[in-house]
Amino acid sequence: MPPRLTIKSLPQIFAALLLTILSGSFAEAKGSQLEEAVALYNARNYAAATTAFRNCIQAGENSPGAWLYLGHSYLGKGQIPYAMEAYITVTERFADSTEATVARNCLIKLDPKNSTAYIAAKLGSLAEPGKPDRGFVDRVRVHRALPGHPRVCQATVNAVMKAIASLPPQINTYLCDGKATLTIAPNITDPWPGSGDGIKPTDPSSTMGEEEARTYGRDCYIYERPKKRGAEILLKRYSEERIIGSVYHEIGHAVDDIGGYSGKTEFSKLHAADLSTISAEEKRKHSYYLDPGEAFAETIRSLVQEINKDDSYSDPMVDKMTGVRQYVKKLFRL
Domain boundary among 231, 257, 283: 257
- Count the domains in the chain: 3
**Within-domain flag for 224:** yes
Give the CATH number of the domain where residue 78 resides.
1.25.40
Is residue 14's pLDDT more than 60?
A: no
Domain boundary among 257, 279, 301: 257
Instruction: Please give the pLDDT value at position 162.
Output: 93
Domain boundary among 85, 103, 121: 121
Asked if residue 73 and residue 35 are part of one domain, the reply reads yes
Asked if residue 236 and residue 130 are part of one domain, the reply reads yes
Instruction: Please give the pLDDT value at position 318.
Output: 82
Asked if residue 53 and residue 106 are part of one domain, the reply reads yes
Asked if residue 96 and residue 144 are part of one domain, the reply reads no
Asked if residue 219 and residue 151 are part of one domain, the reply reads yes
Asked if residue 166 and residue 46 are part of one domain, the reply reads no
Which structural domain, as residue segments, surrounds residue 94?
A: 7-121
Asked if residue 114 and residue 154 are part of one domain, the reply reads no
Asked if residue 210 and residue 299 are part of one domain, the reply reads no
Instruction: Please give the pLDDT value at position 11.
Output: 36
Question: Quick one: pLDDT band at residue 3, thresholds 50, 70, 90?
Answer: very low
Helix (H), strand (E), coil (C) string for the chain: CCCCCCHHHCCHHHHHHHHHHHCCCCCCCCCHHHHHHHHHHHCCCHHHHHHHHHHHHHCCCCCHHHHHHHHHHHHHHCCHHHHHHHHHHHHHHCCCCHHHHHHHHHHHHHCCCCHHHHHHHHEEECCCCCCCCCHHHHHEEEECCCCCCCCCCHHHHHHHHHHHHCCCHHHHHHHHHCCCEEEEECCCCCCCCCCCCCEECCEEEEEHHHCCEEEECCEEEEECCCECCCCCCECCCCCHHHHHHHHHHHHHHHHHHHHCHHHCHHHHHHHHHHHHCCCHHHHHHCHHHHCHHHHHHHHHHHHHHHHCCCCCCCCHHHHHCHHHHHHHHHHHCC
Asked if residue 85 and residue 48 are part of one domain, the reply reads yes
Asked if residue 271 and residue 208 are part of one domain, the reply reads no
Question: Quick one: pLDDT band at residue 18, thresholds 50, 70, 90?
Answer: very low
**Within-domain flag for 117:** yes
**Within-domain flag for 306:** yes
Asked if residue 133 and residue 108 are part of one domain, the reply reads no
**Within-domain flag for 2:** no
Instruction: Please give the pLDDT value at position 274.
Output: 94
**Within-domain flag for 1:** no
**Within-domain flag for 134:** yes
Give the tens place of pLDDT for each residue, 118-173. Answer: 444 455 666 666 677 788 988 898 988 887 899 999 999 999 999 999 999 999 99
Across 193-197, 229-233, 266-270, least confident range: 193-197
Give the tens place of pLDDT for each residue, 48-106. Answer: 999 899 888 877 777 888 889 899 998 888 888 778 878 877 887 787 788 888 888 88
**Within-domain flag for 180:** yes
Give the tens place of pLDDT for each residue, 262-308. Answer: 999 999 999 999 999 998 888 888 888 899 999 999 999 999 998 98
Is residue 196's pLDDT more than 70?
A: yes
Asked if residue 132 and residue 248 are part of one domain, the reply reads yes
